[in-house]
């Protein structure tokens, strides 16, 4: 409830039901965002035939890649913007944009128009990747509870892209347009939840209260200082600083850069599967489009297992903190051991997929490699995204925006090389080459565990966060309580 001194309600004090509503709204948005990313995959052949394009033409990959280019652009706009105008206007506006351009995809008169609408849909669908970390941090001050919310967020990001090809694969026999009508219907279910969330970003709440009370002079200036002033760790006042911060962070923060590279490659592998699985299970094994979509189910099962592992480790870590164990007090041990567990599973899954995909071996065998990929993929993301949020505190939205943009760039580029990669090297060695790269990147969480605190202590943005903690400062009013 509002205090006499502030005049607004601290979002951390919202009722449990209201917090559940906000978390659920975010999850529904990210589900639709992820669902839309691979929606054309199951309708690939139907779209190609309708527009008289060769099914093997590289331009067909653009249906997903342009959406992911939107994922690269959107966070750079909406992450910082949510720190300027608030969470709710950004989320409501972008969800509306996503619905509008999904509708436009269903009505697209030609292939170029369809590609443009996919790009614009992706730009709008990208906002939860940058905003939800800050949104959840606004209302959840307990790291364990916040970690569970972010873990659910990551599990949903795995389910959406896998469910979409399955749905569109079966419904595209009626018309490829129905794939997008289904996407629009799914978005329509989630939109009311987003529409009625409250604003949670404290600087915006302060500014609104000042306007309501007619005290726009010195009060607004003080409010602006809460958003951009030196005591909040921001470089300068003004919107330019807000929108350039992700670029500064990706260059000046090694933790952010290498975490983003690791997540970027993992994310790109996930979307490469949407191009590689048809080559394996349709071309090699002769499965139908709908049946080939079922090959993604073990990845979903793996995602559920990874969520269970996250909960078990979180409970164990919390008990260690209560017992005052020294290792548990280190920031790196709160999340990164999960990434260290998931990292080796990626090359295992890739080697398994590459060397069991043979006509003489039942397709169920290579399909089961997805179980290990699903565990590794989600463990890495749950650990790394939560680690960035924990490490960068008030800069978390900008850090997530930078990370989301970089990994989306990976996800755009790598799938474009799928046909040439698998065509030239074959299924065996193409998958093995990717596995070797995964082995190299797998050292990153181990290096962070060993040297992460030292690296953060020598990085400019991290230093400001750590100095605030060492000084015993309470969380900055208007910044997420992390």
- The H or E element that residue 435 is part of is helix 418-441
Tokens 């790291």 map to which residue? 143
pLDDT per position as a tens digit, 435-475: 999 999 999 999 999 887 788 777 776 666 666 544 444 33
pLDDT per position as a tens digit, 98-142: 999 999 999 999 999 999 999 999 999 999 887 887 888 888 877
- pLDDT of 474: 38
- pLDDT of 230: 40
Model-level pTM? 0.75
Say if CB 145 and CB 18 are below 8 A apart: no
- Helices 143-171 and 16-37 cross at an angle (nearest 10°) of 40
- Count the Cβ atoms, other than its own, within 10 Å of residue 247: 14
Residues near 242 by beta carbon (within 8 Å), at least 6 away in sequence: 80, 81, 83, 84, 228, 234, 398
Which is it for the CA torsion 456, 457, 462, 466, positive or negative? positive
Compute the average pLDDT of residues 267-276: 86
Query: What dotted CATH number matches 12-224+236-470?
Result: 1.20.1250.20
Nearest-angstrom CA–CA distance, 301 and 201 = 35
Say if CB 384 and CB 339 are below 8 A apart: yes
Compute the average pLDDT of residues 289-295: 75
Say if CB 309 and CB 372 are below 8 A apart: no
- pLDDT of 17: 93
- pLDDT of 23: 92
320-343 burial: b if 16+ Cβ within 10 Å, else e:
eeeeeeeebeebbbbbbbbbbbbb
pLDDT per position as a tens digit, 41-69: 878 888 988 998 887 777 888 888 889 88
- pLDDT of 248: 81
In the chain, what are the domain boundaries?
A: 12-224+236-470
Residue 300 pLDDT class (50, 70, 90 cuts)? confident
- Cβ neighbourhood burial of 70 (10 Å; 0-12, 13-18, 19+): buried
* Neighbouring C-alpha atoms within 13 Å toward the C-beta of 472: 0
- pLDDT of 238: 55
Q: Is the pLDDT of residue 379 over 90?
A: yes
Q: Is the pLDDT of residue 191 over 80?
A: yes
Q: Of 464 and 418, which is predicted with more confidence?
A: 418
Nearest-angstrom CA–CA distance, 332 and 339 = 11
Among the ranges given (101-115, 201-215, 224-238, 264-278), the one the predictor scored with the smallest mean pLDDT: 224-238
């Amino acid at each position: 409830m509002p205090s006499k001194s502030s005049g607004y309600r601290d979002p951390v004090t919202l009722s449990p039901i209201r917090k559940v509503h906000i978390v659920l709204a975010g999850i529904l948005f990210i589900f639709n965002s992820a669902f839309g990313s691979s929606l054309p995959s199951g309708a690939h052949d139907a779209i190609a035939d309708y527009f008289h394009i060769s099914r093997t033409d590289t331009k067909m990959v653009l249906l997903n890649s342009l959406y992911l280019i939107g994922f690269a652009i959107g966070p750079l706009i909406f992450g910082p913007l949510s720190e300027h105008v608030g969470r709710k206007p950004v989320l409501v506006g972008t969800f509306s944009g996503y619905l509008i351009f999904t509708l436009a995809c269903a009505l697209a008169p030609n292939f170029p128009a369809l590609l443009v609408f996919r790009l614009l849909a992706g730009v709008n669908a990208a906002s939860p990747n940058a905003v939800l970390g800050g949104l959840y941090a606004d209302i959840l001050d307990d790291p364990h509870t916040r970690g569970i919310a972010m873990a659910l967020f990551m599990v949903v990001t795995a389910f959406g892209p896998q469910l979409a090809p399955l749905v569109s694969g079966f419904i595209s026999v009626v018309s490829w347009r129905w794939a997008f009508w289904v996407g629009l219907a799914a978005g329509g279910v989630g939109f009311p939840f987003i529409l009625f969330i409250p604003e949670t970003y404290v600087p915006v709440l302060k500014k609104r209260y000042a306007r309501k009370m007619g005290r726009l002079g010195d009060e607004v200036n003080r409010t602006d200082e809460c958003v951009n002033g030196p005591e909040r760790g921001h470089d300068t006042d003004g919107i330019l600083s807000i929108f350039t911060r992700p670029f500064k962070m990706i260059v000046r923060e090694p933790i952010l850069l290498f975490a983003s590279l690791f997540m970027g490659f993992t994310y790109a592998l996930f979307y490469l599967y949407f191009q590689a699985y048809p080559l394996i299970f349709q071309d090699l094994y002769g499965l139908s489009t709908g049946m080939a979509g079922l090959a993604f189910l073990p990845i979903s099962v793996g995602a559920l297992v990874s969520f269970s592992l996250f909960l078990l480790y979180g409970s164990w870590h919390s008990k260690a903190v209560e017992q005052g164990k020294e290792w548990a007090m280190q920031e790196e041990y709160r999340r990164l051991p999960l990434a260290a567990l998931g990292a080796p599973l990626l090359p295992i899954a890739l080697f398994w997929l590459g060397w069991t995909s043979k006509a003489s071996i039942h397709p169920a065998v290579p399909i089961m490699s997805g179980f290990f990929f699903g565990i590794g993929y989600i463990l890495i993301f749950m650990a790394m995204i939560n680690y960035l949020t924990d490490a960068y505190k008030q800069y978390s939205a900008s850090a997530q925006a930078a990370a989301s943009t970089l990994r989306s760039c990976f996800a755009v580029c790598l799938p474009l090389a799928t046909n040439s990669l698998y065509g030239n090297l074959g299924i065996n060695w193409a998958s093995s080459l990717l596995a070797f790269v995964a082995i190299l990147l797998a050292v990153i969480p181990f290096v962070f565990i060993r040297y992460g605190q030292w690296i953060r202590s020598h990085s400019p943005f991290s230093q400001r966060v750590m100095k605030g903690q060492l000084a015993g400062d309470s969380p900055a009013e208007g910044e997420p309580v992390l």
